[in-house]
Amino acid sequence: MPIEFDIDPPVADIARRTADFVRETVLPAEGSSHGDVHDGPEPLRRGLQEAARAAGVFAPHVPPRWGGLGLDLRGQAVVFEAAGYSLLGPLALNCAAPDEGNTHLLEVVAAEEQKARFLAPLAAGEVRSCFAMTEPSPGAGSDPRALATAAVRVPGGWRISGRKWFISGADGAAFAIVMARTSGEPGDPGGATMFLVGADNPGMKVVRNIDTLDRALFAGHSELAFDGCEVTDDAVLGEVDKGFEYAQVRLGPARMTHCMRWLGVARRAQDIALDRAAERSAFGRPLAELGMVQQQLADSEIDIETSRAVLWRACWELDQGRPAAQHTSIAKTFVSEAVNRVVDRAVQICGALGISGDTPLSALYREVRPFRIYDGPSETHRWAIAKRAVRAARERGDVR
């Protein structure tokens, strides 16, 4: 089946309405908050989501059964990019991390009773969630097999013990999807289980909110402690010891939705640079007529279009149900670095204005830098890409 680059008219209509909604409603809200929502202002979140619902663009990724628009990943790529034009656009559409990825995971893995309890209110924007896998060193990070948080059997359920950190959106979340080791030792490839833990569980506590470079992730990033955290058997998400397998259900698509949203940021930065290059003159000519500026603008256009192409290819693979680990790693690595380049060039073209608070570029710059670390640093993805390429070459007989 060929990859289609034409956008279906219904998807194009949703993207157009999303772009209008972002410009008319979300960008003013971003300006008022300076894009900083680490304190988790609920009135802002709920107000934006009600406005998105009224505009008919709420939850584009959520299946219709749960009140969403039901777009596949290729459709999401178009709409999420439009939402990502504002730092708060994904929050408004309820397609921001980590809730968007958790929604997909619950839809695929959760039992019907769990879907009614956790997925339904999450998809409706009534609650928020978090995904608790990353741990302080030497625990799970770039290498999830280092998972050290443990869950042991107790009468009627499990007791979870350990520490997590950099858990996005944990402060104020209604529940966490917690990855804990139920067999084996840290470093083993299997033995992880996912648990649904309510925020009212006395054994799970927010230790602190971490001060980070980025500020537009709602409620920021937290450190969590699990001390005597007991849950019943019905808290197990899926099957025991299959947590690493379920993580792949979430991580591949979630990496792509990150790319979609940040591509919107790159498009916005490029638009600011284009406007500045057209209006600002130096040495008797508009910046847009100077060769070095033209090269930077052209390189950013190339980065944006190439990012979109590799992203759509990976989304097509996932939509087809094909193995897509190689293409998602390539897309995540390329897009995260390309977005950084685009925003950096925009800052350079705008000069002093670019590093001031008079444009959003300084805020965008701050937000996109962590993208090269989140969801696997570029170095880890390059290592995996090379391993797969060598293995494929050996299987073809091209190398020994």
b/e string for 78-114 if b means 16 or more Cβ within 10 A? Answer: bbbbbbbbbbbbbbbbbbbbbbbbbbbbbbebbeeeb
Radius of gyration (C-alpha) of the chain in whole angstroms? 22
Q: What is the C-alpha separation between 79 and 100, in angstroms, rounded? A: 14
Q: What is the C-alpha separation between 127 and 179, in angstroms, rounded? A: 20
Q: What is the C-alpha separation between 313 and 335, in angstroms, rounded? A: 13
Q: Are strands 175-181 and 129-132 parallel, antiparallel or unpaired?
A: parallel
DSSP letter at 189?
A: S
What pLDDT, on the 0 to 100 scale, is given for residue 5? 79
* CB atoms near residue 66 (< 10 Å): 18
Which among 158, 159, 93, 97 is positioned nearest to 128, based on CA atoms?
A: 97
What pLDDT, on the 0 to 100 scale, is given for residue 270? 98
Residue 343 has pLDDT above 60, yes or no: yes
What pLDDT, on the 0 to 100 scale, is given for residue 398? 75
Tokens (6 digits) for 227: 């001390």
Instruction: Give the helix ranges, DSSP H, for the chain.
Output: 9-21, 27-33, 42-55, 73-83, 89-93, 99-109, 112-114, 120-123, 243-279, 291-319, 325-350, 361-368, 378-396
Residue identified by tokens 């994904």 is 90
Beta bridge partners of 281: 286
Residue 196 binned pLDDT confidence (cut-offs 50, 70, 90): very high
Residues 6+ apart with CB under 8 A from 295: none
Residue identified by tokens 């190439």 is 306
Helices and strands, number each (H, E), in the chain: 13, 10
Residue 255 has pLDDT above 60, yes or no: yes
What pLDDT, on the 0 to 100 scale, is given for residue 24? 98
Residue 397 has pLDDT above 90, yes or no: no
* Of 1-5, 39-43, 116-120, minimum mean pLDDT range: 1-5
Residue identified by tokens 């950013």 is 300
What pLDDT, on the 0 to 100 scale, is given for residue 94? 98
Which among 87, 40, 49 is positioned nearest to 68, based on CA atoms?
A: 49
What pLDDT, on the 0 to 100 scale, is given for residue 387? 96
Per-residue pLDDT, averaged over 86-109, amounts to 98
**pLDDT tens profile 310-330:** 999 999 999 999 999 999 999
Q: What is the C-alpha separation between 106 and 246, in angstroms, rounded? A: 10
Tokens (6 digits) for 246: 């379920």
Instruction: Sketch out the chain's domains with CATH numbers.
Output: 9-96 (1.10.540.10), 129-241 (2.40.110.10), 244-396 (1.20.140.10)
Average pLDDT, the chain: 96
What pLDDT, on the 0 to 100 scale, is given for residue 1? 57
**Whole-Å CA distances, 256 to 6, 99, 116, 197, 264:** 19, 14, 27, 26, 13
b/e string for 363-398 if b means 16 or more Cβ within 10 A? Answer: bbbbbbbebbbbbbbbebbeebbeeeeeeeeeeeee
What pLDDT, on the 0 to 100 scale, is given for residue 117? 98
Tokens (6 digits) for 229: 């955290």
Per-residue pLDDT, averaged over 102-129, amounts to 98
Residue 13 has pLDDT above 90, yes or no: yes
What pTM did the predictor assign?
0.96
Q: What is the C-alpha separation between 23 and 235, in angstroms, rounded? A: 41
Per-residue pLDDT, averaged over 356-381, amounts to 96
Contact (Cβ atoms closer than 8 angstroms) between residue 262 and residue 83:
no
